[in-house]
Every structure is written in C-alpha cells, then in structure tokens.
Amino acid sequence: MTRVLVLNGPNLRRLGVREPEKYGSTSFDELAALCRDAGRSLGLDVEVRQTDDEAEMIRWVHEAADERLPIVLNPAAFTHYSYALRDALAQRTAPLVEVHITNPAAREEFRHTSVVAGVATGTIAGFGTSSYVLALRAVAELTAGDS
C-alpha cells in the first residue's frame, strides 16, 4: 500500500468555522477522515497533517523526499510567497499534487500566483473538499504499480 502525506498549511485546522461561505462547513477532522477513507478505497495509506509553521511544513516535505512519499499539499497562504517551501518541494522524489478548496484564480489578485505550482505534478482547485479526493485519485494513478 502506497503511503501518502496530505499536508495542510496555515489556518486549515479552522475549517468549518473559518469563512464557511468560502471554505464550507466541513471541519478539519472531517476532512482528515474523508482523505483517509478515500485513500483506503484507492489502496493508499493516507496520513493527514496540518501546521501553521513554515519550518515544520518544510521538515515534512524533506521527510517525504527522503522516504519517496507522494504528497497532496494544500499550502494555503504559503502558496503565494513561500520560496523556502517551493525550494523544498523542488527536491521531491514522488508525485506532488497541489490542492485548494477554493479556486485561487477566482479570488483576490494576490492569490493568483502560486510559487508551488511550478514544481508540482499538477494542481486541483475549486471543488471544495472534493479537491482532496480528486488529488488522491491522481496520486493513485500516478503511483500504480509502485507499491
């Protein structure tokens, strides 16, 4: 079974209470359960993590690179400015799918640029929490035969 890290950046633990009109009413714990359940059905061993700390996120990315683990990443605000995260992600050794609950291109102009997208295998955005399920399906297809 392929192990996958689902990494989430700043403020995502606040899902369900943070701007539900944009991010929906699903809590972070419910999102984590959704990801684990979707992963199981796809033959993936999914571990969901969240941090507001850029350094911790970079350590997790290094762990994934060292262990050749695919990543589904919602970098949240780090998307738009974290060159340190981008440089860590450039060292990836397995598929990386950038994911967003909302569509950043349809939001404020500062959200239109992703410094992460250029080093990701692909990006899925705008489908609510289903974006994560779609990303996990992509990882399953990209890693078929690897485990």
Token pair for residue 30?
Answer: 């419910």
What pLDDT is attached to residue 17? 87
87 is in an annotated binding site: yes
Domains and CATH numbers, the chain: 2-143 (3.40.50.9100)
Q: What are phi and psi of 87, to 5 degrees?
A: -65, -35
For the entire predicted model, the pTM comes to 0.94
What pLDDT is attached to residue 74? 97
102 is in an annotated binding site: yes
101 is in an annotated binding site: yes
What order do you get walking across the sheet with 122-125 strand by strand?
44-50, 2-8, 71-74, 96-100, 122-125
Enumerate the active-site residues. 23, 100
111 is in an annotated binding site: yes
pLDDT in tens, the chain (147 residues): 999 999 999 999 998 888 777 777 899 999 999 999 999 999 999 999 999 999 999 999 999 999 999 999 999 999 999 999 999 999 999 999 999 998 887 677 877 789 999 999 999 999 999 999 999 999 999 999 775
What pLDDT is attached to residue 65? 98
How many other C-beta atoms are found inside a 10 Å radius of the C-beta of residue 137?
A: 16
